[in-house]
A and B are shown apart, each in its own frame.
Chain A
């Protein structure tokens, strides 16, 4: 895509940010809001990560060492909830806020005040959720999937606050997604046709659609829980004609599109970065768009592959098995296109590219273990073992989170005006790469050997692999403090970044000076 920009980039009649902390409370600026989302998600990443380290510390040895089982369950639950809703999703919304307007040549997001509300709900929602750790009866302890009746009949009192916190997160996500869709459909610069949009914008358009489609279903699920708990309804109680399995159907109707909500923007990030450092246009742009859309559509008809062992009729098992396997086709198209983009390119391996390449390789491993899990007869063996934990951590950590790191390094010079420290960036990459593989690769083995998930104690024969995993986890966790240091260092100064920043970078955002001015594209550029 070649973008020619009118010389309207300079601001007239606009001013910089407001002074003082009210800048952040009252802001309507997509860059401010994007930064707040990114910082918030990083804080949540550290909080959720600390909980993961509690889990790994307990699992370093068989037997009960550090925490009691109920607290262990609270840690697994809160770790999952915080990482999904507090770390990964807000990070991608932050990237969307920062990047979509400057990628499509818009002056801001379509509905800037609502944009700010979307963000400011989150600190309250997570404050509420985290406060349950100090409640009588403890925090939610029923796993991040909160299956009934564990989350209804047998739940601690804090489940009520959990439900209300989920409602707040849902409101925030829906408003954020509406903003993204309205911005993409309505705010593109003249000449920026849909099929000229950067792939990150495309993946976010489809993600936003998924969010609006399934977050209300999650709201419905937690509302039913609330009613069952406090008002005597029988949604999930067979004694009244309901069914606990109904909960799982509703949850996973939300939950499976949700995992694509967490990975489609990551696909978009990889599709921006790999062409830049291959110095070639993206291979098969239209097929990338169609593959993303296909994945999104298929995500609505595969949910029960999370429930093969619950007693589904055979026909349902077969349907959901084949539908799930189908997803490998568009995903394979994407992986092929990334590899084909790199093929015979002039590759260089700056930090964003390292993270992006690791993303492609390690996400594919997670995809393959997903394919194994999709096979209903063998899933009976894998279900609820550490193999599942290994699978979804491979798609989320080197998938979603590596792409977020890649994006941060790739666009940091555009955001701050300075280059980050390349040597430290590479150190961050390699330590993370080694740490995460040490953590999650052994989980495949203990899982296949039968170690169940969400258990604070385990049989002796799993000890070696668990010790390796725990050491890897602490390596990975502490390495993230290095990332914090690199970002702060980059904000404070360093080598000046040029407008284009990267030799092979292409797109509207690279026509802006670095750092990007507070207000950009007040007059829309023309894309040819």
Chain B
């Protein structure tokens, strides 16, 4: 049997406990802010805690990933270690898919079951007792109780900016694939060019998203609080936008590392993990475009 390179088990590390403290302070601060806002109290203490926790998290991420990058550069990682990273990243993306699945499930449930039932479909007859005027529709512009949830005037058309955004993200999937092919043959200028293009496409996408959110809030009265359409629209597109932002930051870090000479044609799992993540974000957008915007 072929001798295996022994598996790298890191020495003691301070990062996990720092990460736990950072995560705790971030979330505790966030909770304090939210509770203070609900009670009409001053949230500044919570903001401070949130800020400190956030700074600790950023410090931790630099330090921890820095260690991993150094170890990788020092050649401590074997092919087996590489497979551990691959399994880890794959299952992480699977967990993200399930997170989005919960929100897509909520969208389908609201659209195909809850809203029709509220309008009297099925044998529940709840509409007679609660809101006899309510009509089922999607996009839902008039909510069952408009005094509590004033509906949007109008929703965003898929065939303008959303279509453009779809093109942008699909194009970014192509650009990152070009960069991936280039990294395999160590064509460094080409990798840098196409990776930068991918990040730029992501940034333009986010710019359009922000523009559209402003338009929705200011002109269309389409908000988080405008009933179930606004709820599902903003939660799904919002979490997607957060993931695009994160994905672009990851790609940016990879770009910076690449410029410093990290990664080779043979070993570039950091790049590949970022690319997987980017493709995942892309696929989520295609689902959003179909199920949130078009249908």
Residues of A whose CB lies within 8 Å of any CB of B are 18, 22-23, 25-28, 106-108, 110-114, 116-117, 120-121, 123-125, 127-128, 157, 160-161, 163-164, 167-168, 171, 174, 177-179, 181-182, 185-187, 190, 212-217, 219-221, 223-224, 226-227, 229-235, 237-243, 245-246, 249-250, 253, 311, 313, 519, 522-524, 526
Q: Known: A117-B16, A224-B106. Is A240-B144 also a contact (CB below 8 A)?
A: yes
- Is B169's beta carbon under 8 Å from chain A? no
Closest to A174 in B: B95
Q: Are A240 and B1 in contact (CB under 8 A)?
A: no
- Alpha-carbon distance A91/B31, docked complex (angstroms): 28
Q: How far is the CB of A106 from chain B (nearest CB, A)?
A: 7
Grouping DSSP codes into helix (H, G, I), strand (E, B) and loop, the A interface class, with mixed when no group exceeds half, is: helix
Query: How far is the CB of B2 from the nearest CB of chain A, in Å?
Result: 9
Contacts of A245 in B (CB 8 A): 114
Interface residues of B in 103-152 (CB under 8 A from A): 103, 105-106, 109-110, 113-115, 117-118, 122, 124, 126, 130-131, 140, 143-145, 148-149
Docked Cα-Cα span, A163 to B27, in Å, equals 10
Interface of chain B residues 72 through 129 with chain A (CB within 8 A): 80, 83-84, 87-88, 91-92, 94-96, 98-99, 101-103, 105-106, 109-110, 113-115, 117-118, 122, 124, 126
16 contacts between A and B (CB under 8 A): A23-B12, A110-B84, A110-B87, A111-B88, A113-B10, A121-B20, A121-B23, A212-B95, A217-B99, A217-B101, A227-B231, A233-B235, A234-B149, A241-B110, A246-B106, A246-B110
Q: How far is the CB of A120 from chain B (nearest CB, A)?
A: 4
Of A108, A215, A311, which one neighbours B7 at CB under 8 angstroms?
Answer: A108
Query: What residues of chain A lie closer than 8 Å to B27, measured between beta carbons?
Result: 128, 164, 167-168
Binds A, one of B33-41, B175-183, B207-215: B33-41
Query: How close is B179's CB to chain A, nearest CB, in angstroms?
Result: 27
Complex interface: chain B residues within 8 A of A526 (CB)? 1
Q: Residue on A with the closest CB to B84?
A: A110
What is the interface residue range for chain B against chain A? 35 or more
B124 CB to nearest chain A CB (Å) = 6
CB within 8 A of A120: which of B20, B109, B113?
B20
Provided the pairs A28-B11, A113-B15 are in contact, do residues A242 and B228 lie with their beta carbons within 8 angstroms? Answer: yes
Cα–Cα distance between A112 and B92 once the two chains are bound (Å): 16
A120-B231 contact given A113-B10, A232-B225, A241-B140, CB 8 Å threshold: no
Chain A residues whose CB sits within 8 angstroms of the CB of B19 once the complex forms: 117, 120
In the complex, the answer to whether B105 meets A313 with C-beta atoms within 8 Å is no
A164 x B145 contact (CB < 8 A): no
Quick check: is B30 within 8 A (CB to CB) of the other chain?
yes
**What are the nearest 6 A-B pairs in CB distance?**
A220-B102, A232-B225, A241-B228, A239-B145, A240-B149, A117-B16
Residue numbers in B under 8 Å from A106 (CB-CB): 7
- Beta-carbon contact of A190 and B1 below 8 Å: yes
Smallest CB separation, A121 vs chain B (Å)? 5
Given contacts A110-B84, A178-B88, A227-B235, contact A216 B7 (CB under 8 A): no
B215-250 contact mask (Cβ, 8 Å, vs A): 1 or 0? 000000001110111110011000000000000000
Task: Tell whether A124 pairs with B102 under 8 Å between CB atoms, given A107-B6, A238-B114.
Answer: no
Q: Is A250 in contact with B102, judged by CB distance below 8 angstroms?
A: yes
Q: Are B144 and A212 in contact (CB under 8 A)?
A: no
Q: How distant is the Cα of A174 from the Cα of B117 in the complex, in angstroms? A: 36
Determine how close the nearest CB of chain A comes to the CB of B95; give it in whole angstroms: 5
B9 near A219: Cβ-Cβ < 8 Å: no
Residue of A nearest to B10 (CB): A28
Chain A neighbourhood of B28, CB < 8 A: 128, 161, 164
- Since A224-B102, A224-B106, A229-B38 are in contact, a sample of 12 more A-B pairs with Cβ atoms closer than 8 Å, ordered by chain A residue number, is A110-B87, A113-B15, A160-B34, A182-B84, A182-B88, A214-B98, A217-B99, A234-B143, A234-B227, A234-B231, A240-B145, A245-B114
How close is A139's CB to chain B, nearest CB, in angstroms? 14
> Complex Cα distance A220/B105, Å?
10
Alpha-carbon distance A125/B23, docked complex (angstroms) = 10
Given contacts A26-B12, A220-B103, A231-B224, contact A239 B95 (CB under 8 A): no
B residues less than 8 Å from A220 (CB atoms): 99, 101-103, 106
Question: A181 to B87, Cβ gap below 8 A?
Answer: yes
Q: Which of B14, B223, B228 contacts A235 (CB 8 A)?
A: B228
The distance in angstroms between the C-alpha atoms of A354 and B98, with both chains bound, is 40
Kindly state whether residue B283 has any CB partner on chain A within 8 Å.
no
Interface flag for B24 (CB, 8 Å): yes
Q: How far is the CA of A160 from the CA of B35 in the complex (A)?
A: 7
Q: Is the CB of B16 within 8 A of A128?
A: no
Residues of B contacting A523 in the complex (Cβ-Cβ under 8 angstroms): 6
Determine whether B64 belongs to the interface, using a CB cutoff of 8 Å to chain A: yes
Question: Do A128 and B227 touch (CB < 8 A)?
Answer: no
Which residue of A has the minimal Cβ distance to B225? A232
CA A233 to CA B98, docked complex, whole Å? 21
**A241 with B23: CB separation less than 8 A:** no
Question: Whole-angstrom distance between the alpha carbons of A372 and B103 in the complex?
Answer: 33
* Chain B residues whose C-beta falls within 8 Å of the C-beta of A238 in the assembled complex: 114, 118, 126, 130, 144
- Per the bound structure, the CA–CA distance linking A213 and B124 in Å amounts to 33
Contact yes or no, B149 A168, CB < 8 A: no
| Residue in B13, B105, B231 whose beta carbon sits within 8 Å of that of A240 in the complex | B231
Complex formed: what's the CA distance from A31 to B33 in Å? 39
Q: Is the CB of B80 within 8 A of A186?
A: yes
Would you call A246 and B109 a contact (CB within 8 A)? yes
